[in-house]
Amino acid sequence: MPKASELKKGMVVKINNNYYSVHSIDVRSPSSRGANTLYKVRFSQLPGGGKDEETFIGGDLLKEVLLERRNCSYLYREDDTFTFMDSEDYNQYLLNSAAIEAQLPYLQDGMENIQAMMIDGEVLTIQMPSSVVLTIAECVPGMKAASATGRTKPAILSNGLEVQVPEYIKEGEKVKVNTETGKFMERA
């Protein structure tokens, strides 16, 4: 059972017989002596994607849930239902968009190396690879004199997501994007 101070993004815990995935943690250290450090944790409910926010003291114990992880690939979308196939036994898992809301911008047809997170044979959510390769759909033309300095420009990717890219990147190029932060990593 982890303490609130040991929580990390992506951990799944059980609170009041509901499963929650840790979305973000905000640590607050009160200035008065003897005051406890507070951990304001934002959760996403699994399955369903509902949001919740709780504040804990560092020593509060939470019940961590051990998930079975299965390697799968994304097959297709039908209305609000997404179909994934297990890479080992070829079982198909169906998830609605609310359960995978944060991962939706990065899903591509035929995508592999996705982790299905399961409890008792039921898929709660998926975990994307740490990065994906996407094409720049539109951006301001690249500058010939642009160097590899920290100056950036906005670019719209093939999935509709807008990211900041270096000035020298041109329309049509493939770039690697971090799926956790949504930020540009490098050219692909």
Q: Quote the pLDDT of residue 173.
A: 92
CATH of the domain at 51: 2.30.30.30
Q: Quote the pLDDT of residue 110.
A: 85
Residue ranges in the chain whose pLDDT is less than 70: 32-34, 48-49, 142-149
pLDDT digits (tens, 9 = 90+) for 70-82: 999 999 999 889 9
Q: Residue 101: CA atoms inside 13 Å, Cβ hemisphere, count?
A: 12
CATH of the domain at 164: 2.40.50.140
The closest alpha carbon to 94, from 71, 69, 124, belongs to 124
Kindly list the strands in the beta sheet with 12-15, ordered across the sheet, starting from the edge strand earlier in the chain.
Answer: 51-57, 38-46, 18-28, 12-15, 63-64
Q: Quote the pLDDT of residue 24.
A: 80
Indicate the residue among 64, 81, 99 that finishes a domain: 64
User: Contact 124/19 with Cβ under 8 angstroms?
Assistant: yes
Residues 187 and 95: their CA atoms lie apart, in Å, by: 32
Residues 32 and 29: their CA atoms lie apart, in Å, by: 9
Q: For all residues of the chain together, what is the average pLDDT?
A: 84
Q: Quote the pLDDT of residue 135.
A: 92
Q: Quote the pLDDT of residue 145.
A: 61
- Give the number of domains in the chain: 3
- 47: preceding bond cis by omega (within 30 degrees): yes
Whether residue 23 is found in the same domain as residue 58: yes
Q: Quote the pLDDT of residue 48.
A: 66
Whether residue 114 is found in the same domain as residue 94: yes
Whether residue 136 is found in the same domain as residue 181: yes
pLDDT digits (tens, 9 = 90+) for 135-150: 999 988 866 665 556 7
Whether residue 116 is found in the same domain as residue 157: no
Structure tokens at 75: 């097959």
Name the residue range of residue 102's domain. 68-127
- Judged by phi (left if over 0) then psi (alpha if -120 to 50, else beta), residue 49 lies in left
Q: Quote the pLDDT of residue 146.
A: 56
Q: Quote the pLDDT of residue 154.
A: 92
Indicate the residue among 92, 127, 162 that finishes a domain: 127
Q: Quote the pLDDT of residue 34.
A: 65
Q: Please classify residue 106 by burial: count the beta carbons closer than 10 Å to its beta carbon, then call 0-12 exposed, 13-18 middle and 19+ buried.
A: buried
Whether residue 82 is found in the same domain as residue 103: yes
